[in-house]
């Protein structure tokens, strides 16, 4: 039996519930990793962790602990410092030149400083640690981007067998493939998109997934990734304070884990009495997608309560090339409950804002540039009013777009 590096289930977990039905999920003492619910039609819906908030103390951010500064609100505790002390606690800073230009206060939270280079580290650190604490021996996922790299890195940090990563055909020898291999992954290629790669993975390792030896780390397929991404919301609260929360948070949305996670953080902070919704204004959550693949934007505009999948026509922002969302109900309710909105931007706008970012010294991925494009749109349209405070979630830095391939239309 491999040792589990001091990882333990957080005793302040109250229960796990189905995100769709609200029904409690049987955990059997966490003797096996938790996957999708079994109360909804197969494959099931995402499961969400609830805490006994009367017993929770929200820790102060500490450089030596990274995102585990907030361990009372994470499902797994006790990781060694070397596991994730360098994850999270990213700075929130004002971009003064944009504030002046647009007449609003523009804040940016840049996630590119995480160890594998993106915000995915938060979710995969928590998800891998949680799965391991539940007895998992190996992790697997389909990916077309940073999630596979992050899952591979944290598998390596626990000394586990290499993460099993499925990518669509055509990703051979690309940046994500090489990065995942660098962190010890076993990479397989199948199909033309992430859905096909994921189906093949679930067929290939069905027995290992059923026994709980392997965990399917696909977006929202296990509850840990959401909890890890939630720490972005806890940090925003800590950095700005309840009296100064942003009026808007703009978030580049593929699977939507971070969007739902930040909103979950706000609800838990209300539950802890640290935010009072009667006197503090909560941020309005804005989904940003690419015009050629905008299932959330289209479903929001159509007034749906579930996200209707689309056929992607492709976008240069890989992280936005996600044609469906298993947590669509949670994404749409987050937008509506927060009074937010959803915006789709074109590749040409993304490229123009990507150049803008570089010119003023901001390290931005294409997904981050999409958020900058959405900011300009929403200010121009009058949706965001003069003087309001807007926080842009910049999910990764410039190395990924520049290292992956030459960018048509840009250089
Ligand atoms: Zn269910």
Share of the chain above pLDDT 90, in %: 94
CATH of domain 87-411: 3.40.50.1100
Q: Residue 376 C-alpha to ligand 1 middle, in angstroms?
A: 39
- Residues 262 and 217: their CA atoms lie apart, in Å, by 20
Q: Pairing mode, if any, of strands 341-345 and 214-216?
A: unpaired
Q: Residue 24 C-alpha to ligand 1 middle, in angstroms?
A: 9
- pLDDT at position 411, please? 63
**5 — pLDDT class (breaks 50, 70, 90):** confident
Q: Residue 48 C-alpha to ligand 1 middle, in angstroms?
A: 10
Average pLDDT for the chain: 96
Q: Residue 13 C-alpha to ligand 1 middle, in angstroms?
A: 19
Instruction: Specify whether the backbone of 6 is left (phi greater than 0), alpha (psi in -120 to 50) or beta.
Output: left
Encode pLDDT of 81-126 as tens digits.
999 999 999 999 999 999 999 999 999 999 999 999 999 999 999 9
Q: Residue 116 C-alpha to ligand 1 middle, in angstroms?
A: 33
- Residues 274 and 159: their CA atoms lie apart, in Å, by 38
Q: Residue 86 C-alpha to ligand 1 middle, in angstroms?
A: 35
Torsion angle of the four alpha carbons 215, 220, 226, 229, in this order, in degrees rounded to the nearest 10? 100
DSSP run (H or E) holding 393: strand 389-394
- pLDDT at position 407, please? 72
- Residues 212 and 122: their CA atoms lie apart, in Å, by 22
Query: What is the residue extent of each domain of the chain?
Result: 87-411
**2 — pLDDT class (breaks 50, 70, 90):** very low
Distance of CA 208 to the CA centre of its chain: 26
Q: Residue 359 C-alpha to ligand 1 middle, in angstroms?
A: 47
Q: Residue 141 C-alpha to ligand 1 middle, in angstroms?
A: 22
Which residues, including other chains, have CB under 8 Å from residue 303's CB and lie 6 or more apart?
Answer: none
- Does this model's pTM top 0.85? My answer is yes
Q: Compute and round to an integer the Cα radius of gyration of the chain.
A: 20
Q: Residue 47 C-alpha to ligand 1 middle, in angstroms?
A: 8
Given a cut of 60, is residue 3 above it in pLDDT?
no
Q: Residue 17 C-alpha to ligand 1 middle, in angstroms?
A: 8
DSSP run (H or E) holding 250: strand 248-252
Encode pLDDT of 317-347 as tens digits.
999 999 999 999 999 999 999 999 999 999 9
Given a cut of 60, is residue 1 above it in pLDDT?
no
- pLDDT at position 221, please? 98
Encode pLDDT of 185-200 as tens digits.
999 999 988 889 999 9
Q: Residue 215 C-alpha to ligand 1 middle, in angstroms?
A: 19
Given a cut of 90, is residue 215 above it in pLDDT?
yes
Encode pLDDT of 352-390 as tens digits.
999 999 999 999 999 999 999 999 999 999 999 999 999
| Mean per-residue pLDDT, 312-320 | 93
Q: Residue 42 C-alpha to ligand 1 middle, in angstroms?
A: 9
Q: Residue 399 C-alpha to ligand 1 middle, in angstroms?
A: 39
Which residue matches tokens 């602990």? 65
Given a cut of 50, is residue 284 above it in pLDDT?
yes
| Mean per-residue pLDDT, 238-245 | 97
Given a cut of 80, is residue 404 above it in pLDDT?
no
- Residues 74 and 68: their CA atoms lie apart, in Å, by 8
Q: Residue 357 C-alpha to ligand 1 middle, in angstroms?
A: 42
Q: Residue 261 C-alpha to ligand 1 middle, in angstroms?
A: 19
Q: Residue 223 C-alpha to ligand 1 middle, in angstroms?
A: 13
Q: Residue 41 C-alpha to ligand 1 middle, in angstroms?
A: 8
Q: Residue 34 C-alpha to ligand 1 middle, in angstroms?
A: 13
Q: Residue 328 C-alpha to ligand 1 middle, in angstroms?
A: 14
- Residues 95 and 360: their CA atoms lie apart, in Å, by 9
| Mean per-residue pLDDT, 147-152 | 97
Encode pLDDT of 248-280 as tens digits.
999 999 999 999 999 999 999 999 999 999 999
Burial track 370-384 (b if 16+ CB lie within 10 A, e otherwise) = bbbbbbbbbbeeebb
- Residues 16 and 3: their CA atoms lie apart, in Å, by 25
Q: Residue 43 C-alpha to ligand 1 middle, in angstroms?
A: 10
């Amino acid at each position: 039996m491999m040792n589990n590096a001091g990882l333990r289930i957080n005793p302040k977990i109250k229960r796990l519930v189905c995100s769709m039905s609200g029904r409690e999920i049987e955990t059997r003492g966490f003797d096996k990793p938790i996957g999708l619910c079994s109360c909804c039609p197969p494959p099931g819906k995402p499961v969400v962790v609830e805490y006994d908030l009367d017993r929770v103390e929200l820790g102060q951010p500490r450089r030596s602990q990274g995102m585990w500064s907030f361990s009372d609100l994470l499902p797994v505790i006790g990781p060694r410092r070397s596991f994730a002390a360098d994850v999270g606690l990213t700075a929130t800073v004002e971009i003064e030149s944009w504030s002046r230009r647009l007449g609003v206060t523009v804040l940016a939270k840049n996630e590119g400083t995480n160890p594998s280079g993106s915000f995915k580290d938060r979710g995969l650190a928590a998800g891998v640690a949680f799965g391991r604490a539940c007895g998992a021996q190996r992790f697997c996922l389909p990916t077309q981007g940073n999630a596979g790299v992050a899952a591979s890195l944290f598998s390596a940090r626990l000394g586990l067998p290499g993460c099993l990563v499925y990518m669509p055909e055509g990703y051979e020898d690309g940046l994500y493939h090489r990065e995942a291999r660098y962190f010890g992954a076993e990479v397989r290629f199948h199909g033309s998109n992430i859905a096909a790669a994921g189906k093949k993975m679930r067929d290939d390792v069905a027995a290992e997934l059923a026994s709980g030896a392997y965990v399917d780390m696909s977006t929202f397929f296990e509850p840990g990734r959401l909890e890890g991404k939630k720490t972005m919301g806890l940090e925003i609260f800590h950095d700005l304070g309840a009296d100064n929360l942003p009026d808007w948070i703009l978030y580049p949305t593929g699977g939507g884990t971070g969007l739902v996670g930040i909103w979950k953080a706000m609800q838990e902070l209300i539950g802890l009495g640290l935010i009072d919704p009667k006197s503090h204004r909560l941020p309005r959550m804005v989904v940003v997608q690419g015009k050629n693949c905008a299932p959330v934007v289209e479903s929001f505009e159509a007034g749906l309560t579930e996200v209707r999948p689309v056929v992607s026509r492709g976008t240069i922002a890989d992280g936005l090339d996600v044609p469906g969302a298993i947590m669509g109900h949670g994404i749409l309710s987050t937008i509506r409950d927060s009074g937010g909105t959803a915006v789709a931007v074109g590749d040409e706008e993304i490229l123009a804002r990507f150049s803008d970012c570089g010119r003023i010294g901001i390290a931005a991925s294409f997904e981050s540039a999409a958020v900058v494009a959405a900011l300009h749109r929403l200010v121009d349209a009058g949706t965001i009013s003069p003087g309001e405070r807007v926080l842009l979630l910049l999910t990764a830095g410039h190395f990924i777009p520049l290292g992956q391939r030459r960018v048509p239309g840009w250089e």
